[in-house]
Amino acid sequence: GSGPWIVSPLGGHPNAIVANTGNTPTTIEFQVLDLPTNWSTDGRMKVVLGVGEAMGVPIEIVPDGDWDGSEESVRILAIDSRGNQREVSLEVQLRTHSWGVSPYLFAYDGDDSPILIHGSSEDSVLVDDVSGEVLEWSVMGWMLPSGSSANGSLNVDGDTDLGYSITVSNTEERNAICSLSSDFKDVRGWCSISNGSSTFDFQILLIGDDGLVLDSIFDSLSENETGQSINLSGSGWNPEPGERSVSIRLLDGKGSLVASMERSYDVRRSDWNVGIAVVELVGEGSNQKVNIATKRLNENLLEDADCTITMSAEGYYSEHLIDMTQAFVPAPKFDRPDVEDGVELIVTIGCYFPWDVDSNPGDDEVRIVLSGGSALEDKFDEFGTGLIVAILVVGVYLGVSWIASNRREGKRLMALAQAAIDEKMEENMPKMAVDSVEAREEEEGMDEEEAGDDEVEFVQQEESEEGDEYDHRLRRLLDR
Domain residue spans in the chain? 5-169, 176-267, 273-373, 377-425+469-480
What pLDDT score was predicted for residue 179?
Answer: 96
3-class secondary structure for the chain? CCCCEEEECCECCCCCEEECCCCCCEEEEEEEECCCCCCEEEECCEEEECCCCEEECCEEEECCCCCCCCCEEEEEEEEECCCCEEEEEEEEEECCCEECCCCEEEEECCCEEEECEECCCCCCCEEECCCCCECEEECCEEEEECCCCEEEEEEECCCEEEEEEEEEECCCCCCEEEEECCCHHHCEEEEEECCCCCCEEEEEEEEECCCCEEEEEEEEECCCCCEEEEEEECCCCCCCCEEEEEEEEEEECCCCEEEEEEEEEEECCCCCEEEEEEEEEECCHHHCEEEEEEEEECHHHHCCCCEEEEEEECCEEEEEEECCCCCCCCCCEEECCCCCCCCEEEEEEEECCCCCCCCCHHHCEEEEECCCCCHHHHHHHHHHHHHHHHHHHHHHHHHHHHHHHHHHHHHHHHHHHHHHHHHHHHHCHHHHHHHHHHHHHHHHHHHHHHHCCCCCCCCCCCCCCCCCHHHHHHHHHHHC
Is the predicted pLDDT of residue 216 greater than 70, yes or no?
yes
Mean pLDDT of 333-361: 95
Mean pLDDT of 199-204: 94
Place 248 in a pLDDT band, splitting at 50, 70 and 90.
very high
Is the predicted pLDDT of residue 30 greater than 70, yes or no?
yes
Q: Does 284 or 472 have the greater pLDDT score?
A: 284
Task: Give the architecture (CATH level 2) of 176-267.
Answer: Sandwich (2.60)
Percent of the chain with pLDDT over 70: 77
What fold does the segment set 273-373 form as a domain?
A: Immunoglobulin-like (2.60.40)
Per residue in 112-154, pLDDT (tens digit) is 899 999 999 999 999 999 989 999 999 999 999 887 899 999 9
Is the predicted pLDDT of residue 447 greater than 50, yes or no?
no
Is the predicted pLDDT of residue 354 greater than 80, yes or no?
yes
What pLDDT score was predicted for residue 210?
Answer: 83
What pLDDT score was predicted for residue 376?
Answer: 44
What pLDDT score was predicted for residue 254?
Answer: 85
* Average pLDDT of the chain, as a whole number: 85
Dihedral angle at the C-alpha atoms of 334, 336, 337, 343, nearest 10 degrees?
130
Place 478 in a pLDDT band, splitting at 50, 70 and 90.
low
Is the predicted pLDDT of residue 437 greater than 90, yes or no?
no
Is the predicted pLDDT of residue 439 greater than 50, yes or no?
no
What pLDDT score was predicted for residue 407?
Answer: 63
Burial of 389 from C-beta contacts in 10 A (0-12 / 13-18 / 19+): exposed
Is the predicted pLDDT of residue 225 greater than 60, yes or no?
yes
Mean pLDDT of 411-434: 60
Is the predicted pLDDT of residue 186 greater than 50, yes or no?
yes
Q: Does 464 or 314 have the greater pLDDT score?
A: 314
Least confident of 120-124, 426-430, 462-466: 462-466
Place 468 in a pLDDT band, splitting at 50, 70 and 90.
low
Mean pLDDT of 305-316: 96
Per residue in 360-396, pLDDT (tens digit) is 999 999 999 999 876 444 444 445 565 676 677 666 6
CATH class label, 5-169: mainly beta
pTM of this prediction?
0.68
What pLDDT score was predicted for residue 173?
Answer: 75
Q: Would you say the CATH fold of 273-373 matches that of 176-267?
A: yes
Per residue in 58-98, pLDDT (tens digit) is 999 999 999 999 999 999 999 998 899 999 999 999 999 99
Is the predicted pLDDT of residue 24 greater than 50, yes or no?
yes
Is the predicted pLDDT of residue 399 greater than 90, yes or no?
no
